[in-house]
Every structure is written in C-alpha cells, then in structure tokens.
Structure 1
C-alpha cells in the first residue's frame, strides 16, 4: 500500500506535469524528465544535466535515453531514462520492464561508440553531439551510471555490470525516493560508507568522549584512494547543503597546486602537511578487539564532510582526471557523532567554526545567507501593480510546496495562495543565479550548470555586492526573470535541434551587452511580459546566435566549448546589430545606472552602438585619451573626467556599463586624439560616422 505522504507527493508531481504541458512541450514523459532533472540538480544529486529524448534501432534492438549529464571533472557519464504514468496511486513496475529500460539506455552508449553520430540526421543536434562525445570519451570514462526516473514504485534494481571495460552502475529515482528527497527534503540517511568493504578491514580509530554526552569524536587516518572513491560515488552530496556552494572555490588554484605537488612528490608527507577533514555522521558501526581494546570503524551512516571538501575533490581529481596514484597518501579525519545535541544546529556550528580557518565568512552559508533572507522578505512584501499578486522566492528547497500544503488546510486559503503566487511566479536560488549571471555577461558560467554557476554567483556576490538590495532592485530582478523566461519560451517554440538552454543564456548576455545593461525594466515589471516587438527581436536573434555559437565551436564539442570564457569573447564580437525601430523596452533606458528601474530619455540604435564601441576599449587607453587629450587642449576637462570614469568601468571588467550620455562625448574625444595622432587607435567605421 502506498504511503499517504508518497501519494500526496505523487499527486503534486502529476499536477506540476499537467500544468507544464504546452504546445512547445506536449509530451508528459519529456516534461516529467525536465522537471525531475531540474529538481534533482537543485537538490545536489546531479549536475549539468540535459533532457534529451533519443530513440532508435541498431540491428533488431531499440535504444532510448531521455537525458544525460557529463561530468568533465570526474569523467563520469550519466544517462537518464524515464518511465512516467498518469495513473494514481503509483503502481509497482514489473522487474522485466525496469531491466529492459536500463538495457535500452546502455544500448544507446554502445551505438555511440560504434559510430551512431555519423548515422544521425541532421548532424548538428544534441543527440549527434552527445554521440560524438561518448565515442571520443568512452575509453577515458571513469564511471557510467544509468539512472531511471519514474513516478512508479521499484523494488530491487539491476546490479552493476561490465561494459567495454567499464563498470556500469544502475540507479533508480522512483516516487518513494523522490518524495524523500524532494518532498520531505534531503536527509543524510542515503549516504552509507562501508569502510570494511572498501579497504578490506575496518578503519582503526581513537575514540574520544565528548562533553556532557552531546557528541562523540573519533580520530582516524583514511587512505586517499578511499576518500576519492567515496567522493566519486556521492559527489557534492557529501557536502552539507548550507556550505556546499562554497567549498572548493576559494584559493582553488594555489591550494590545489600545493596538494597536487605533495601527492606527486611527497605522498608520504600528505598526512603531515594537510589539515585533514572534519566530518559528521548520523551513526557509525564499530568493532573492537577484546584483547587490546582497540576500536575500528566498520561503517559510516549519514556521512557529511563539513570541512575539507576541497581536499576531497582535489584527491579525486588527481586520481581520476590526472591518473596520479594515491598510494601512500593518508588523510587525517575527525568524525563527529552527534548525541544529545540538535544535529542540524551542531552540523551548522561545526561548519562555521571549521571553515573560519579558511577565511570563509558566516555570510558564505547559502540558504541562511543574508542575501537570500532579504530576497525572501522582498518577495513576500513586494506586490505587483494590481496589488493582488506577488512572486514566491524559494529560499529553502521545498518551501513553496510546504507553503502550498499549509494553505491547503482551508479552501479559501488555498485559493488565495494559488491566486497570489501561482507556480509560474516561483523562482529559486538557481534561477536567480542564472538570470543575473547571464545578464552580467557571463553566459559561459551559466552553461556550467545550476550548481556550479551558483557557486560562482555567490562568490561574486560576496566579492562585489550590489549597491542595494531593495524593492527597486527586486523589481528589476523579476523583470529580468520575465525576460529570461520569455527568451526560453520563444526558443522552445522555434524547435531548434540543440542547445536551447545555452542559446538562451548567450542571447540574454548578448542583449545585455548590446544595451549596456540598460533596458526598460519598469515596463516589463509593470506588464509582467515583454512587448511583441521585443519578442520579434528575440526570434530574429536566435538563429543568428545559434549559427555564431556553432561556428565558434568548430570541431570542439559544443556543450563543453560553451562553458569557456573564450567562447563568450568570440561570440561577443559577432552579436547581431540593433536596428530601428527599436522595441519599446530598448527605445529608452535609465541613465541613473544599469541598476535603475525607471527609464529616462529616449535611446536609438546609434546610442547602443556607441555604448558597445566604448566597451571595446581598455582602461589604459581611456586614461591615455583623458590625460593626453586634456594636455593637448583637445578634450574638455569634463569629458576627460568621463573618460577616467569609463576607464574605471573597464578596469572592473565593464561590470558597470557606460550610458549613452557618457559614450557619445567619450567617442568624440577618442576620435579627436586619434585624428591628431596623439593616441594610436583603430576606430570602426560605424563609430566614426556616429
């Protein structure tokens, strides 16, 4: 009999799928796959996933996948396959059907190695690019997973098998497990590490009694290859959700270089040189020697690494990515089993205390970060123009579902909740990171995937916080969300063969770059929609961006190339031109800065062209124009001041962008000193004619 909580969750999932079915996405199984991959990525169970339905035949057998993920860092390939049913309550799936589904997905990998890419038409689709990726990377893969996504119930699953010299693991996310992860929220119970099985023997340790029975501590030394194996199995799930987004970012190059040097040159000294890791467990199994009284750890349940995630990931990279042997590498580990204290509070406190030694601030803990708390407050208190609706910010995963369930106790409350905050006006942390990162001109970061992009976004927020997180800023964020989603919807409707999400991020970045980050956000916020003219511009830009991105990729794998900064630098030089008449969102823009919501003054395509021309110059050139131009009497001191201001913008990577009122006199000054031969510059014809 299906558990009541599971049944409620299954009903909720089904409602979500039915609501998401559109003309652009008419198939419930594909919508279900997209929905789950997005949610599982948010929960940290997978990274950089793509939903991709591909079915065909090789000889007399069929192959099929519904999505994939390729982890370049760990050289791991995940192939997702889906079984979805609209029946309630969820039914138990027959074992033969499950086995058949797994075999079809693995058959796709075999077909790829055997040259499937050359048989697929057209040759520039997601499927053909994935086939080429598998064909070229097959021999170097360290792990392959076949993952079944289903809203049914599954018992035992297929054991691991061998495939072309690789071990293939099979994993299932059925409705029971999905409810535990996405409905109730992630628990650590799924993470169980059998040390005796990994090493052949239990792990010797020193047991230390904690104060007042609140915890117990165990000090041990774990082999480096064991730690690498555990990380390969669980990845970022080993890292507590409130710190995961920051481990591995700070000092990555310098620290990892030192770790690598020790592993290669002095592996026996790793124990002496490394600070080790701090972990918590829900429980652990011990064995003891009656004669000597020695204690050893057989199994760890609910393992979480709260300090040392960078060390763990670096060891794994050295072993798997660089083929460096970890023989002789030993890592000190302190394991905390929480007793009478509150587990979540204890974990959080240990995380904060342990990470202070690495200069990570309290503001680094994502869900409880003041930025996210303030964003949640603004969402709750900022109403749309009609005063009847607002957006819901899902600061903690599952909070929207919890709020909806709370409102469902009374019909009137449920109706009010759904009217005020419908599902289409819900956004989460990954959404915010995606929208703002793309608009700020970092589409390659967005292409890294939700979690990795979020890591970079939060570090950037810490290093360069916005001037003010207030109601105006929040309205601008929502307007950007409306714009981004409109771009995604338009691209879906155009049925491009591949890379729709990457094209969306690059198109948004290109629009932000062309406009200097200044469009009429107030109009978008007020109408909660973009104009037909802007929608038409997006439709015109989409095939141009697609062609430019493919040309830039050349013979490289597109999905990997789009993650590189060099790709964006190349695409930035090929952006489509803005022409008259401009959409109303672009025909005027705020002069109070790129963060401004309300527009002031009209803008033309020529204005945006000038802004772009200025942004092609570096800070040193702009300073030279200001200094030498003013000394020669060719540049007025006020214009020289503008050039110095813009030099500061350039030095900051054009995070702040010039306005039209700054760009025009700056370009006139640049042209004057260039024609006088004081500064050597090559100006484009469009600039000279402006």
Structure 2
C-alpha cells in the first residue's frame, strides 16, 4: 500500500470516528480537521465554518467556510469550499473538475454582496453572517482567495491562478488536495507549491553576490530586490512567505509599519539606506550567469524570517504608492537550508535576526525547551486505563508536524498495533491544541476563538516570558494537569453537538467558552477544580459533565444573541465583551458540582509532594550519571576548571569527591551540583570526553 493510500485510510477512519462520536456530519469533521492545517501552513489566518448550499446546476450556490474579517488580514477575503467524497478508495480529480466545484462559490460571492440576498436569509444563518460581513467590508477588500479543500487527489497542475476580476478585485484560487495534506502532515510543509521563478514570472533573474565559499556548510547570497518584484511576490503568496513562527509572532502585532510606508510614499529613493533589509531562507536556489555576473533565477520555498513588516509595508505600496515602488530597493540575505536541517538552523537565524524584538522569536519554535520538555513527558508519563479498558496509555505531544505519522510509519505491522495501544490516535495533540486547552482553562475563550495561530501566538508569548523567569512550574504534575484539561476540552467537543439546543455552527466557540466559564466559577480563594482526579481517572466525572453542558448552553445563548448592532456571531465570539457577558452570568450548578472541587491547600500540597519527589528523582539520576562518568573524567574536569580559573571553592570540593570514586561517592545533592557545573563549563569551552 502506498503512503498516500495509507494516509487516506487513516484520515477517513479519523473522520468517521469523530463524526460518530460527536454526531456531526463527516464533511464538518473534515472541514475542522483540514482547516487547522491551512492556518498552520499560513494559507489562512483563521477558518470559520459557515455552510450554505442552494440551487442546482448552473444556479447552484455553495460555501463551507470563510477566513474571518478581511480587515484583519490585509484586505484578503478568504472563502472555502469542501469537496469531500465518502470513499475507501483514493479518488482523483483534474483541472476540468475544478470549475464545477468553485463556480458555486463564486456565484455565492456575487449574491452575498447584495443586501437583497442577505435580507432574505434568517439572521442566525451562517450565509447571512458571511453576506453581512462581505457587504460591510467590501470597500476594504483587496483580493478574494478561494480555497478548495478536498480528500481526493488533484492531478491538475495549476494552482494559485487568477480566475476572474470582480469589480476590479482579483480572484485567486488554490487547491489543498489529499496529496498536499499528506505532504504537510508528514513534513509540516507542502513545499513544491511555492517556487518563485524570477526569470519567467517576475521580470528577470536577480543579480546576486555569493556570500559563502565552495563546500561551505550552508550556501548564502546577498541580493538587492526591487520593491515592485517583492510586492508582487507577496501579493501572490501572502503570509505563506513568512516563516511560520515569525508569522505567529507578528499576528499579535500591527501588520505593517506606518514609518516604512511613509518612506515608500515620500522618499522611495532613500528606502535602501534607511531599511535593514530582509533575512530569508530557502530549500533550493537556481543560479544563472548573465553579462553582469551571477543572478538568481528561481527560489524554492522562500521563507522570510526577519523583515515581515518591511515586506508587508512594501506590499501595501501596490495600493497606495504604486508609482514610487519602482524607486524602492531592499537588500536580502538569503541562506539555503536543506529541509532536514531546517528545524535546527532556521530558529537560530530568526532569533539572531530578530534581536530587536522584545519577545525572543525563538520562543515560538518547536525546539524551544518548553516544547521539548512536554514532548519528553508525553513519551514517558503513563496514565492508567480508563474504567472498562484494559491498557494503560500515553498522550502523544506532536511539537512539530509529522512526528506521529512518521514515528508510526517506521514500525512493522505488529509494532504498529503495540504503538496504537500505547498512543491512541484520540490522545494525539499539537502545540496549537495545547494552547487551546490552557487558554480555555485560563479564561481567554475570546482569544481561542480568534483561531489556532493567533491563540498560539499569545500563549507562546506568555510561556516565553514565564519560562525565562523560571521553568520549575512546568513539571510532571503540570503536564498531568494539562492532560486533565485536554480530557475536559475533548469531552465537550464530543458532547456539544448532541445537545437539543445545539443548532449547528459555533461548536469551537461554545466549547472554549463553556470550559472557561466552569473553570472561572470553580476556582476561588478556597476551592479549585480537582484536575488530579480527572487525569487519574482519564475521564470527566458525571457531575462535572453536567456543569460543563449547563455552561455550554449558556455560552450558546451569549454567542448567538449578540447585542444590537453586532450581527456576525463568529466575530462577536472573538471579543472580550462576549466573554464578559458569559462570565457575569450566574449559573445554578447541581448540588453535586462541589464533588468536582478540591481545597486550594490540598492542590498545593499535591504540588509540593510532586516537587519533592521530582527533586529526589533528579538527585538519584544525577548520582547515577556522575558515577558512570568515572573518576578519571572528573579529574580531567577539575584540571581544566582549575587551569582556566573557572572553579569556586565549593566546585573544587565536590569535584575532588567525584575524582576519588569509588573510595568516596558523591551524595545525590553533590552529584547534581557536579552535573550542573559540567554543563556550565561546557558552555565556557570545556570539551572533555568520557573516561572511566
């Protein structure tokens, strides 16, 4: 079986399981799952489900979702249509099949721009919501982006091609098919879809200076990019040009810089001397020789890791200062990074290039110590089997896209069965999932509602700042309590669609709001929600489930009945005022809700006990490691530290004990000091090897 067929089988099994468990349509489960990938890949910033279909044949209208308010994404109106086939076999479609799928979406767009169409719909209808948003924001729309999401394999070749003009607004379309999703899920990228061909598509090859020697570890180039070319490239690919973590970082900030735009308009010839330029990476660069010397003909998978505001501001010049762009030039430092090294190299380039940013850009990367620690816990912490089940299991944290599917794919069929018992698919969670669980519990449902990437950007900023002060709180108990929050969140996702009051739509908003409300009401000065009981049982107690669904019904009421003058419910759910509305309501929980709470002091003593156990375990591990390194090794460390004058009297005392093994064995406390000292000396240049 090919990798694509295996991926299709697993995808369909996941979608059927999700649809059966929650009682939602398969196409809705498919939409939710796949649009997560679109936001992560930078195709969209947010994806809100808004299904509407009417008419047949040439009169057919259809939409499955939209990409939020275009004013939040540089005037780009994103519309989504699903092509979902319930089949066990991989089906295909070609370029000729695209118009029958996209034309109903284009027809919907044309109708949705009219008040007559909008006013004929019920105000709670998703189509009304989208139509009302389009009418209100059309004057600010600069481009319409149609996205076709399919579980069939696309065998056409064109993508992101202009279709038609609509009142001077260009329309582009792109296809995310089964093969593209499979590539993304395995590697976190859909690479070959972004080849920038300067020679054929953007005027001419760019003159370049090679800034690396032949045979160097990484190729580097210095280039001067005309503003017109950069603006057109960004116009075509948008946020996908921005390295994913930098994109997250910027989503919490202004999209463009007014000062840079002012220079473009008023002093374009001074743009080059005033601007620091761009730092970028690529998978591959094709060079040619011209009469003027070396030039770059094409770049594969260009990612701008520093200079996103510069790029966005130059792009804004297409609309506000088109004539001046011909005088704008920007320097680019381009490094070719092979895909297998990108996770190590790109974060460092971004971190060092973004030093002027107060929040370290590396805080957003999958190899930040926080994510590595959570990953380590997820591979080692065992949870006892749920009632009625036979096997203990673990939760699999995927800190970078593709870890789960690749770890499983390397195993034999027999090993895969064992893996599936150890790491059930339903217990897989990603960085953005983690951020949703944490921010729902912490009382930020309006931020969670803004989409996975924006929520993750806010969460990562907070974690980055907290981690730099102290990482001690992110211990195994913190991880276990995180899993308790995951269990609550996932239970709500399953149960909300089954409720009699649920009318379809806004499930994601209702889930995060309901969870936030229960945590807000439960956590007080004397009592808190008993998360330890939940991770121990791996299930939500009946009394807590009733409380969550009571809060969910109230959340549904608050979200679907916005104040007068507010008509788009998805946009309303993204506002602090919406959360304030739910937070202020008093709910009559059942009397047994108290059984879900525990005293604050009990929760604290559990944390203290967990910390004491962890300190003891760390000491034992350090002692084992110190002993295994051997006396000779510690003698080498002591000699180097003494000659370099890096040791305090206490350091010397402990190293003398380690160097006299086995006559004297360091205590666990002394061994921990020795291992910490070794790490410090390595940072200062010690390169000693192991010795017994």
TM-score bracket, shorter-length normalisation: 0.7 to 0.9
The answer as to whether partners of 2:493 and 2:508 remain within 8 angstroms in 1 is yes
1:583 and 2:588 aligned: no
Q: Report the CA distance between 1:192 and its aligned residue.
A: 1.5
- The DSSP-based 3-state class of the residue aligned with 1:79 is strand
Residue 406 and residue 285 in structure 1: after superposition, are their counterparts in 2 closer, same or farther (change >3 A)?
closer
Task: Trace 1:510-529 onto structure 2 (pairs within 5 A).
Answer: 510-516=517-523, 518-529=528-539
Q: Residue 665 of structure 1 aligns with which residue?
A: none
Tell me which of 423, 428, 431 is aligned to 2:430: 428
Q: Residue 312 of structure 1 aligns with which residue?
A: 311
The answer as to whether partners of 2:187 and 2:401 remain within 8 angstroms in 1 is no
The answer as to whether partners of 2:441 and 2:519 remain within 8 angstroms in 1 is yes
Q: Residue 685 of structure 1 aligns with which residue?
A: none
The answer as to whether partners of 1:188 and 1:304 remain within 8 angstroms in 2 is no
Q: Report the CA distance between 1:487 and its aligned residue.
A: 2.3
Q: Residue 217 of structure 1 aligns with which residue?
A: 220
The answer as to whether partners of 2:277 and 2:330 remain within 8 angstroms in 1 is yes
Instruction: Return 5+ residue gaps in structure 1 as ranges.
Output: 600-690
- The DSSP-based 3-state class of the residue aligned with 2:193 is coil
Tell me which of 478, 488, 500 is aligned to 1:473: 478
Tell me which of 549, 554, 559 is aligned to 2:570: 559
Task: Trace 1:646-665 onto structure 2 (pairs within 5 A).
Answer: none
1:493 and 2:491 aligned: no
Q: Pick which of 36-45 and 426-435 moved more.
A: 36-45
Q: Report the CA distance between 1:372 and its aligned residue.
A: 0.7
Deviation sequence 1:585-625 (CA, Å, 0-9, x none): 544443367897799xxxxxxxxxxxxxxxxxxxxxxxxxx
Q: Residue 260 of structure 2 aligns with which residue?
A: 259
Residue 25 and residue 148 in structure 1: after superposition, are their counterparts in 2 closer, same or farther (change >3 A)?
farther
Q: Residue 419 of structure 1 aligns with which residue?
A: 421
The answer as to whether partners of 1:220 and 1:334 remain within 8 angstroms in 2 is yes
- The DSSP-based 3-state class of the residue aligned with 2:591 is coil
Q: Residue 675 of structure 1 aligns with which residue?
A: none
1:182 and 2:181 aligned: no
Q: Residue 64 of structure 2 aligns with which residue?
A: 66
Q: Pick which of 222-231 and 521-530 moved more.
A: 222-231
The answer as to whether partners of 1:214 and 1:339 remain within 8 angstroms in 2 is no
State the distance in 2 between where 1:219 and 1:358 align: 23
Q: Residue 403 of structure 1 aligns with which residue?
A: 407
The answer as to whether partners of 1:145 and 1:168 remain within 8 angstroms in 2 is yes
Q: Residue 106 of structure 2 aligns with which residue?
A: 106
Q: Residue 687 of structure 2 aligns with which residue?
A: none
Instruction: Return 5+ residue gaps in structure 2 as ranges.
Output: 386-390, 610-692
Tell me which of 200, 206, 209 is aligned to 2:209: 206
The answer as to whether partners of 1:541 and 1:576 remain within 8 angstroms in 2 is no
Deviation sequence 1:58-94 (CA, Å, 0-9, x none): 9961111222213422222222222233445423225
State the distance in 1 between where 2:530 and 2:323 align: 53
Residue 378 and residue 330 in structure 1: after superposition, are their counterparts in 2 closer, same or farther (change >3 A)?
same
The answer as to whether partners of 2:50 and 2:505 remain within 8 angstroms in 1 is no
Q: Report the CA distance between 1:104 and its aligned residue.
A: 1.1
RMSD (Å), alpha carbons: 3.4
State the distance in 2 between where 1:509 and 1:530 align: 16
- The DSSP-based 3-state class of the residue aligned with 1:144 is strand
State the distance in 2 between where 1:110 and 1:509 align: 39
Deviation sequence 1:632-661 (CA, Å, 0-9, x none): xxxxxxxxxxxxxxxxxxxxxxxxxxxxxx
State the distance in 2 between where 1:423 and 1:471 align: 22
Q: Residue 482 of structure 1 aligns with which residue?
A: 487
Residue 194 and residue 546 in structure 1: after superposition, are their counterparts in 2 closer, same or farther (change >3 A)?
same
The answer as to whether partners of 2:354 and 2:361 remain within 8 angstroms in 1 is no
Deviation sequence 1:229-257 (CA, Å, 0-9, x none): 433433443233465533565xx469935
Residue 401 and residue 289 in structure 1: after superposition, are their counterparts in 2 closer, same or farther (change >3 A)?
closer
Q: Report the CA distance between 1:193 and its aligned residue.
A: 1.7
Tell me which of 193, 196, 200 is aligned to 1:193: 196
Deviation sequence 1:640-687 (CA, Å, 0-9, x none): xxxxxxxxxxxxxxxxxxxxxxxxxxxxxxxxxxxxxxxxxxxxxxxx
Q: Report the CA distance between 1:522 and its aligned residue.
A: 1.6
Q: Residue 666 of structure 2 aligns with which residue?
A: none
State the distance in 2 between where 1:299 and 1:367 align: 29
Q: Pick which of 311-320 and 123-132 moved more.
A: 311-320
- The DSSP-based 3-state class of the residue aligned with 1:583 is helix
Q: Residue 607 of structure 1 aligns with which residue?
A: none
- The DSSP-based 3-state class of the residue aligned with 1:464 is helix
Residue 216 and residue 405 in structure 1: after superposition, are their counterparts in 2 closer, same or farther (change >3 A)?
closer
1:83 and 2:109 aligned: no
Q: Report the CA distance between 1:132 and its aligned residue.
A: 1.1
State the distance in 1 between where 2:108 and 2:73 align: 23
Deviation sequence 1:248-289 (CA, Å, 0-9, x none): 65xx46993543454455443332222111112233344544
Deviation sequence 1:482-524 (CA, Å, 0-9, x none): 1122222232223334322122222222222223372111222
Q: Residue 557 of structure 2 aligns with which residue?
A: 547
Task: Trace 1:230-629 onto structure 2 (pairs within 5 A).
Answer: 230-241=233-244, 244-247=247-250, 252=253, 256-290=257-291, 293-316=292-315, 328-337=327-336, 345-356=344-355, 358=357, 361=360, 363-386=362-385, 388-407=392-411, 409-411=412-414, 413-465=415-467, 468-494=473-499, 495-516=502-523, 518-556=528-566, 557-572=568-583, 574-579=584-589, 581-584=591-594, 586-591=596-601
Equivalenced residues, count: 589
The answer as to whether partners of 1:224 and 1:330 remain within 8 angstroms in 2 is yes
Task: Trace 1:143-182 onto structure 2 (pairs within 5 A).
Answer: 143-156=143-156, 157=158, 159=161, 160-182=163-185
Residue 528 and residue 323 in structure 1: after superposition, are their counterparts in 2 closer, same or farther (change >3 A)?
farther
